[in-house]
């Protein structure tokens, strides 16, 4: 008989955080669970710390599995290895530097059973060094599927419970690279779900990690992020078209393209990157300037396009994002910022 939930934990050099993560999993109030730690060739002692912690929870020993990659394969493949090994009715994907409320599994599973949902999404906490902030991840009362596909709800995967059969669906696409892997998974699985439910209770703790890839801002790393994101974005846009989602969810489609090219914004002071920004999904250029029924034109959007095209964004970003000049949300969506490992519009 399969377990109720398989927790698939992506582990890579998270020795400073993994003990708290593992403890929150071993102390889950839902008993019938499976915990799969997927180590992506860590060079620290993350796995040993998990094994040491497990000795304090002998009742969990039988439900814990380890998948240890001999070479580093990247987050997307590492997660997929865990999903393939999962046997639970539902799957919850966890980052090894975060942790969960001990009731998270039970509350999400009970909601899924009560509503017969394929996807259940909850709220989260942002854990900073000096404070913990409760954060809403969707809009109460709105259809979660519409919110996710229109890019109104958060696209993270760690605050979502997925029915495992959806992850075995032949129509599902899986990310090939690290950047935007959450976006591909959350949108593709939600699009294939018969029912998605939002539970406005914070149950996941997203830990601010100053060493994360999303905190880096040198030119080479931004270009690597951009190239990876394009691979996953093209994969997702093709899925969008094949599933016939474009007409109804054009807003999310446009935001997804803008998200990919806006990684370059912090280096558009250089002419070659301004050109690259304009050549990336060039259909956005006319849309920003002239608009359509879903994306109305405005003087602020025009100013934004001209300012970025002239290389003014990096030096004048505070002014360009001020209340009087700030462009519509889809054009400034998901720019990498220096505050943390992920930023939201």
- Closest by CA to 295, choosing from 183, 151, 146, is 151
Where does the pLDDT of residue 333 fall: very low under 50, low under 70, confident under 90, or very high at 90 and above?
confident
Tokens found for residue 9: 């934990």
Tokens found for residue 39: 């180590």
CA 185 to CA 180: how far, in whole Å? 9
Per residue in 21-40, pLDDT (tens digit) is 999 999 999 989 999 999 99
**pLDDT attached to residue 129:** 84
CA 12 to CA 18: how far, in whole Å? 10
Q: Which residue would you say has higher pLDDT here, 80 or 337?
A: 80
Where does the pLDDT of residue 211 fall: very low under 50, low under 70, confident under 90, or very high at 90 and above?
low
Residues 106, 111, 158, 154, CA torsion sign = negative
**pLDDT attached to residue 332:** 86
**pLDDT attached to residue 215:** 52
**Residue 337 pLDDT > 50, yes or no?**
no
**pLDDT attached to residue 208:** 80
**Residue 340 pLDDT > 50, yes or no?**
no
**pLDDT attached to residue 212:** 55
- Closest by CA to 149, choosing from 229, 234, 256, 294, is 256
**Residue 338 pLDDT > 50, yes or no?**
no
Per residue in 281-328, pLDDT (tens digit) is 999 999 999 999 889 999 999 999 999 999 999 999 999 999 999 999
Backbone angles phi, psi at 240, to 5 degrees: -55, -45
Structural contact between residues 249 and 198, judged by C-beta atoms closer than 8 angstroms: no
- Closest by CA to 240, choosing from 284, 200, 184, 296, is 184
**pLDDT attached to residue 341:** 36
Per residue in 124-172, pLDDT (tens digit) is 999 998 899 999 999 999 999 999 999 999 899 999 999 999 998 999 9
């Amino acid at each position: 008989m399969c377990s109720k939930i398989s927790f698939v934990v992506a582990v890579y050099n998270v020795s400073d955080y993994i003990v708290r993560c593992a403890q929150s999993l071993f102390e889950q109030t839902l008993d019938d669970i499976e915990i799969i730690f997927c180590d992506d060739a860590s060079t620290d002692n993350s796995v040993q710390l998990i094994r040491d912690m497990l000795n304090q929870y002998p009742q969990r020993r039988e439900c814990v599995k380890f998948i240890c990659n001999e070479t580093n394969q990247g987050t997307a493949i590492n997660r997929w290895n865990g999903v393939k090994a999962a046997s639970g009715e539902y799957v919850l994907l966890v980052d090894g530097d975060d942790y969960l409320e001990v009731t998270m599994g039970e509350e999400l599973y009970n909601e899924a059973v009560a509503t017969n949902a394929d996807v259940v999404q909850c709220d989260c906490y942002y854990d900073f060094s000096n404070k913990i902030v409760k954060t809403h991840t969707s809009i109460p009362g709105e259809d979660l599927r519409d919110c996710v596909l229109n890019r109104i709800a958060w696209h993270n995967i760690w605050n979502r419970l997925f029915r495992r059969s959806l992850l075995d669906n032949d129509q599902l696409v899986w990310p090939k690279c690290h950047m935007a892997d959450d976006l591909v998974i959350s949108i593709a699985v939600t699009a294939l779900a018969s029912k998605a439910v939002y539970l406005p209770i914070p149950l996941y703790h997203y830990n601010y990690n100053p060493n994360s890839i999303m905190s880096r801002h040198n030119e080479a790393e931004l270009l690597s992020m951009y190239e990876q994101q394009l691979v996953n974005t093209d994969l997702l846009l093709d899925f969008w078209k094949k599933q016939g989602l474009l007409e109804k969810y054009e807003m999310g489609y446009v935001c997804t393209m803008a998200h990919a090219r806006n990684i370059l914004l912090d280096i558009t002071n250089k002419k070659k990157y301004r050109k690259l920004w304009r050549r990336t999904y060039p259909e956005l250029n006319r849309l920003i300037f002239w608009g359509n029924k879903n994306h109305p034109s405005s003087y602020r959007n025009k100013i934004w396009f001209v300012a970025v095209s002239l290389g003014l964004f990096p030096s004048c970003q505070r002014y360009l994002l001020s209340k009087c000049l700030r462009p519509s949300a889809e054009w400034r969506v998901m720019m990498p910022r220096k505050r943390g490992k992920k930023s939201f519009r």
